[in-house]
Amino acid sequence: MAEATFKEQAYEALSHVIDPELDVDLVSMGLIYDAKLTDEGVAEITMTLTIVGCPLTEWLADAIQKEIQKIKGIKEIEIEIVWEPAWSEEMMTREARVQLGIY
């Protein structure tokens, strides 16, 4: 089997970061928009938050750093929070919506 791409590895790692308020991981929530690895070993994570001024921003950044650092070859991690496209419940996986009672 071919080795997983960095994006696949990153999404797998980030599926272990659970939002402590909602008890759903960031990937299932649809908060992770992209993950790239530069030739210099910089992991670039593009994500959004459910709300501007999210009180968990710093906690989430720390948790993301801890998980991404586990991937071989990572020298640095940059997290960019974007607001476009705006997050909506439709970005969540079906399982996440069911878990949260959103149908």
Residue 1 lies in a domain: no
Residue 4: per-residue pLDDT? 83
User: What digits encode the pLDDT tens for the residues 40-59?
Assistant: 999 999 999 988 888 889 99
Q: Name the pLDDT band for 2 (thresholds 50, 70, 90).
A: low
Residue 29 lies in a domain: yes
Query: Could you give the 3-state DSSP secondary structure of residue 52?
Result: coil
Q: What is the mean pLDDT of the chain?
A: 94
Q: Put the strands of the sheet holding 42-47 in their side by side order.
A: 32-37, 42-47, 76-81
Residue 41 lies in a domain: yes
Domain that holds residue 11: 6-99
Residue 21 lies in a domain: yes
Phi, psi for 21 (deg, rounded to 5): -85, -35
The C-alpha atoms of residue 45 and residue 37 are separated, in whole angstroms, by: 9
Q: What is the pTM of this model?
A: 0.91
Residue 94 lies in a domain: yes
Residue 91 lies in a domain: yes
User: What digits encode the pLDDT tens for the residues 14-46?
Assistant: 999 999 888 999 999 999 999 999 999 999 999
Contact yes or no for 87/31 (Cβ under 8 A): yes
Residue 72: per-residue pLDDT? 94
Residue 73 lies in a domain: yes
Total number of domains in the chain: 1
Query: Angle at CA 12, nearest 5°, toward 4 and 45?
Result: 95
Which CATH number does the domain housing residue 50 bear? 3.30.300.130
